[in-house]
A = this chain, B = another copy of it.
Amino acid sequence: MKYLVTGFSGFVARHFTQFLEENVENVHVLGLDIGAPHYNETRPWVQFEQINLLEKDRLEAVIRSFAPDYILHLASMSSVSKSWEEPEKSFTNNTNIFLNLVEALRHNHIPARLLSVGSSEEYGIVTETELPLRENMHPNPISPYAVARVSQELLSKVYAHGYGLQIVLTRSFNHIGRWQNTRFVIPSFVKQLVDLKKYPERAQVLYTGDTSIVRDFVDVRDVVHAYHLLLQKGQSGQVYNICSGKGHSLREIIALLSELMELEIKIRTNPKFLRPADNPRIIGSYRKIAQEVGWKPRYSLRESLQDIIQFWEMEAIAQTTT
């Protein structure tokens, strides 16, 4: 089976490839990304091609020649804060790369199944009574990034129902795991804490944004498992939440991290991490994907954090020794 993976240099694609290695036989992966991966990919069944997905003709040629069975479309300009700085670019780039993909499939009659990855950001501002968020709740996006994601969903449904393409959709909640960039909150915390542990003489202070906000964190290893199941068995034109179904405040997570790392730290708020008009609580429901494809999260928050801590501790040692 041939898998095309866009956004290949991100941490989710790296976990997806690992999932395939451990669970699927006879598989070929072609990864596409605007920048090469930061790690050394040596598996012979994985190829990489550096490409800007806005280059429509080149993308079409790649798809025609590779003729994928499955497409995992992870590529996006996914920063909400950058989308506020460049709303037009965030919107048009995200929707155009998606259109380039589906038009290539449509024009060349390639019967690949496509997973269009969306975000819990699509829900926008929600009220307590709407929790846990279900897929039949209509999105009310408030950032340019979230609008692009909702537009991609609407386009997906037109291409699925109107043109018969096989497109399955997700709204993925905050995923966490090793290899995630430290511009995200959990790796940022863990990296800071690993540094504090390494230098106990320093003031044991963690800088954070608002720690009262509650989010639904799901282990990236569970996420890529869900992506694989949806590519096989998800219903075309349907959208599926991928989440843990549980909410944890950042304060709770910091407490759990401190316990796991045996640290006593103080929390200090850094105003530059505060976001305007943020939801106090976001929790999703995974009932639909559980019922339709039999997925549920396997890793507890504690297990996820342990793995992330282990990773950053190894990184710190590697840095020291190089």
Hey, which bits of chain A sit against chain B, CB under 8 A?
84, 87-88, 91-92, 95-96, 99, 103, 138, 141-144, 147, 150-151, 154-155, 157-159, 161-163
Contacts and interface: CB of A to CB of B under 8 A. Distances in A.
B92 A158 contact: no
Contacts of A158: 87, 141-144, 147
A272 B139 CA distance: 36
A117 to B, nearest CB: 18
Report copies per complex. 2
A67 B158 CA distance: 38
B99 A95 contact: no
B91 A95 contact: yes
A121 to B, nearest CB: 12
Nearest to A154: B147
Nearest to A145: B158
Given A142-B161, A144-B158, A92 B96 contact: yes
Contacts of A95: 91-92, 95, 151
Contacts of A163: 87
A91 B87 contact: no
A147 B141 contact: no
Contacts of A144: 155, 158, 162
A103 B85 CA distance: 12
A83 to B, nearest CB: 9
A95 B144 CA distance: 13
A154 B138 CA distance: 12
A93 to B, nearest CB: 11
Given A141-B158, A142-B158, A147-B158, A91 B99 contact: yes
24 contacts: A84-B162, A87-B99, A87-B103, A87-B155, A88-B103, A91-B99, A91-B155, A92-B92, A92-B95, A92-B96, A92-B99, A95-B95, A141-B154, A141-B158, A142-B157, A142-B158, A142-B162, A143-B158, A144-B155, A144-B162, A147-B151, A147-B154, A147-B155, A147-B158
Given A91-B95, A144-B158, A150-B154, 7 more contacts: A87-B99, A87-B103, A87-B159, A87-B162, A147-B154, A150-B151, A151-B154
A123 B220 CA distance: 36
A313 B116 CA distance: 53
